[in-house]
Structure 1
């Protein structure tokens, strides 16, 4: 795995759990030249392990996934998604029988998953990758969602063609990663605060609905 060595003093932001490493903070790379989306280890100038994250080209060079770990733990995706779901349940957004059955499960850095959005509509999860690393991890993410939700999950739809970085040379194309919700998408209704809305995650804007505007 490639190591990203920081300039002296530039580890301070990571000690405060800032989710990004800017290109100007990097002293050098050790190991093979990373491809965009690879997981890299971030080291201080004295080679203390700061954490690991997705490498990308641009002013934000690393989007941090873990702090204090040289590589991702084997249960990383399941652990992160489980924590996100538990938080939504605590807020009453993912409880069965409530007056809302659509919610944002993952909101990027806010859920320690920078570059990833996942919105849930009943038993269908729709994901958008905003980084190459998240796009390349989409099958792992879908498998983790299946483990977290169990039989409640009907399908996982990837809608990253309009959000993933086009300069990364990725083979972009929307489609189902798990299950097939095509028939559901044409006639899907969700509840938000007791009100019924028609949602089409395949053809609608963003992931199909403006869940981030609930309070507005």
Structure 2
């Protein structure tokens, strides 16, 4: 494999992003400690790439690098910070990942593998973080369509068929998201956060089956004197 020193260093971030994706899928929680090292690595790569561009032949090399880096860090990174402060469909980890990517990959990396170059199709602007953002938005907008079609094919016709899927009650402790309807199909006002339900069960030291069988466990007067760590 042939690549610049900055691009080779950027490969160190791949296991970190893979771990963050795994934690996000499994627990919907990504440790905050994951992001500072990626930002530091991004700043180091940014410095190396800037130094190379400054000493590259031609006056336009550094200007192109500076412009692409500014678009990545200011626009894409700024959008990530905005999405973190003002939730608009982006989770907190998603927003932090976007900020990290804006610093870590402001320009397109290049990896040469026996005559084959990756990425295979760079964009005209050549701002890699912008490509990540647009791809994420396209996939995010396609997901409701997927849910709509999948639910229709399974005969699950409901007002929430574009934003949810039917889940067996027994599977609720292992699912993430919000409960939109009860088992009778009645719409729940505001939904029920399944992560909050899971934390409540851990806090009380009971199971979902216990809550279903004994409504008295939902009474605040029955809370234990020394609850568990949720």
Q: Kindly name which structure, 1 or 2, has the bigger radius of gyration based on alpha carbons.
A: 2
Q: TM-score, normalising length from structure 2?
A: 0.28
More strand by share: 1
